[in-house]
Amino acid sequence: MEVTSDRRPCDQVRVRVPATSANLGPGFDAFGLALTLYDDLIVTPGGSGVTVEVSGAGEGEVPLDESHLVVQAIRRGLEALGASVPGFTLRCENRIPHGRGLGSSSAAIVGGLAAAYGLAGEPLDRERLVVLANELEGHPDNVAAAALGGFTIAWTEGETGRAVRLDTVDGLAAAAYVPDNRVLTKEARGLLPTVVSHSDAAANAGKAALLVAAVTGRPELLLTATEDLLHQEYREPAMPESLALVHKLRGSGLPAIVSGAGPTVVVLGRPDPAAASSGPQSPGKSAGQSFFRGAPPAPDGWTRHDLGIDPVGVQVWSMEAG
């Protein structure tokens, strides 16, 4: 196979799309971070319907027809681009766990839209990707990080999803503690109050601004900058073990937050140089060795993923059978 450089429709499209952590504490519905844990999609055009194959996360659970989230996103992307690809085979190799707060739905949507660009022979327009993905996802924080990589600040203008991307400080990494159980985003959102106090809102705004500084250049401020008063504690009834883990980690000086709508807990920081062999250069599951100084291994029933920051967001390769 060779990679095509022109804009004509291709024989196969490959997509790699990162997991994302949204909120990061005080940046509720705005901040996102792209992580080096990926779903891979392989789309081969042909025929008139869809064939879907899934391995890894969601295997045996997600539908294998037109209602599959990636298929819906491919269809929406093709429509937006004015391209016609009636049928295709979609192969999903999924590593991002579903319903855990690591942006699997955003990865599916951003990955599917990006695949549509590849199928249409169009270069990726990442700003438009955020707009289209926000329409499908309903909020822009995870889709922004999946589309742009790095650290993102997302917002909406009217109904339109927007985002800016910032480089993270060198060596920033994330340890993601993922429990076996799921929490659906809708359920976690239902626990939030409709009104918060002025003092909580003011404190959160200050911490969110500080977190931008911490993530981009002042990692020593991460512990205080990740304090949140708007959402995490309210969600405790839906994920008591996650909040207990956040409290325990923060109590030992580690900047732990609930990832997205939970229940995954993420610790941000820079790896202990003494444990560099398990650092972000070799992302993947950790067997419990110390990634950050003093970070405990995953509790029973949880898995710890030691991850780096993905700097580029979704990637697409258009292949031509050689």
Ligand X SMILES: Nc1ncnc2c1ncn2[C@@H]1O[C@H](COP(=O)(O)OP(=O)(O)OP(=O)(O)O)[C@@H](O)[C@H]1O
Q: Figure out which of the listed residues 62, 74, 172, 229 binds ligand X, where binding follows CB under 6 A.
A: 62
Measured distance CA(271)–CA(152) in Å, rounded: 22
Fill in the per-residue mask, 101 to 140: x = in contact with ligand X (CB under 6 A), - = not in contact: xxxxx--x--------------------------------
Q: Does 23 bind Mg ion (CB under 5 A)?
A: no
Amino acid in the structure at residue 247: H
The Cα 318–Cα 103 span in angstroms is 25
**Identity of the residue, 142 or 232, whose beta carbon is nearer to ligand X in the bound complex:** 142
Query: Distance between CA atoms of 257 and 269, rounded to whole angstroms?
Result: 12
105 lines the binding site for Mg ion (CB under 5 A)? yes
**Interaction partner, residue 62 (ligand X, Mg ion, none; CB < 5-8 Å by kind):** ligand X
CA separation for the pair 205, 316 (Å, rounded): 36
Supply the minimum distance, in Å, between the C-beta of residue 70 and Mg ion: 13
Could you say whether residue 12 binds Mg ion (CB under 5 A)? no
Beta strands of 229-308 (E only): which ranges? 256-258, 265-269, 284-285, 302-308
Residue 98 interacting with ligand X (CB under 6 A): yes
Binders of ligand X in range 11-40 (CB under 6 A) = 22, 39
Burial (0-12, 13-18, 19+ Cβ within 10 Å), 225 = buried
Q: Is 261 in the site for ligand X (CB under 6 A)?
A: yes
How many CB atoms are located within 10 Å of the residue 98 CB? Answer: 16
Structure tokens at 37: 């844990």
Q: Which residues from 197-256 bind ligand X, rule CB under 6 A?
A: none
Where on the chain is the footprint of ligand X (CB under 6 A)?
22, 39, 58, 62, 68-70, 92, 94, 98-105, 108, 142, 184-185, 260-261
Q: Contact positions toward Mg ion, by CB under 5 A?
A: 105
